[in-house]
Amino acid sequence: MITRKMLLFCAFTLVLLISTTFSGCTSNAKDTQAQVTDPAIKDWHLTLNGTREKLLTIDALRRFPVATGHCYAVSTTGIRFGPYLCTGVDLRDIIADVGGMGPDDQVWISAPDGYLWVFDAEQLEGKGFVTFDSDLKEIPSPPLRIILMYEQDKKPVSYDDGGPARIAIVSDNPGVITEGSAWVKWVDNIEIKKK
Ligand SMILES: Nc1nc2c(c(=O)[nH]1)N[C@H]1C(S)=C(S)[C@@H](COP(=O)(O)O)O[C@H]1N2
Ligand SMILES: [Mo]
């Protein structure tokens, strides 16, 4: 016979089991994030490889001319992130610092997780991107700029958002959506590939 006591005991065990499982998950996620986040920002530097090599700290990046604009992206699964006010450095200014790039060259942008995105010279001028309005209807592209963003809505870009430095594609007009796949998070390497 199942008594009231037995039922209560079962319910109690179940609650205990569920809560330990979930608290285990949360604290693990927090630990991993803490380990990655803090040293990542403190020790972050950007390796530039053009006709010469150069390392930039976050302070050095902030000394470049400031580029700002509206930015808004959509992931391949249709999830929108933004709109934001994005602040950073025009990628052309960064590339010019290591010798610039010719019309047939490409710029390879990569991150410690192995993610890589390639822009060509046309895109570096803000042309040739697919753009959408806020209903995700494709629209003709207005002039755009690729920036290495270090502030999102006037706050340093958080680790979760791809900080300390993330690629963003910005427009002077609000509400222009670009494809999130080009928005490389945690950028730590920029390389010019000569053809
Ligand atoms: N370093 C890095 N950057 C990345 C990615 C990645 O896997 N690694 N994914 C890209 C893709 S495919 C998308 S849609 C967006 C997702 O941005 P979110 O994680 O801020 O939503 O980041 C882009 N930048
Ligand atoms: Mo994506």
Distances (CA, A) of 35 to 42, 74, 87: 12, 29, 26
List the chain pLDDT tens, one digit each, 195 residues: 455 555 554 454 444 444 434 433 333 333 334 334 555 567 899 999 999 999 999 999 999 999 999 999 999 999 999 999 999 999 999 999 999 999 999 999 999 999 999 999 999 999 999 999 999 999 999 999 999 999 999 999 999 999 999 999 999 999 999 999 999 999 999 999 987
DSSP letters for 13-41:
HHHHHHHHHHHHHHHHHHHHHHHHHHHHH
The rounded distance, in Å, linking the Cα atoms of 91 and 168 is 10
Query: According to the model, what pLDDT value does residue 25 have?
Result: 35
d(CA 145, ligand 1 centre) in Å: 19
| Ligand 1 near 159 CB (within 6 A) | no
Query: According to the model, what pLDDT value does residue 43 have?
Result: 84
d(CA 115, ligand 1 centre) in Å: 8
The rounded distance, in Å, linking the Cα atoms of 151 and 67 is 11
Residues forming a β-bridge with 177: 132
Gyration radius of the chain over CA positions: 22
The first and second tokens of residue 114, run together, are 């192995």
Query: According to the model, what pLDDT value does residue 195 have?
Result: 77
Which-ligand-closest: CA of 114?
A: 1
Query: According to the model, what pLDDT value does residue 39 have?
Result: 55
Q: DSSP letter for 181, please.
A: G
The first and second tokens of residue 54, run together, are 């150069």
Q: E strands within 13-115?
A: 46-49, 53-56, 67-74, 80-90, 106-110
d(CA 10, ligand 1 centre) in Å: 44
DSSP letters for 128-177:
S--EE-TT--EEPPPPEEEEEEEEETTEEPPTTTT-S-EEEEEESSTT-E
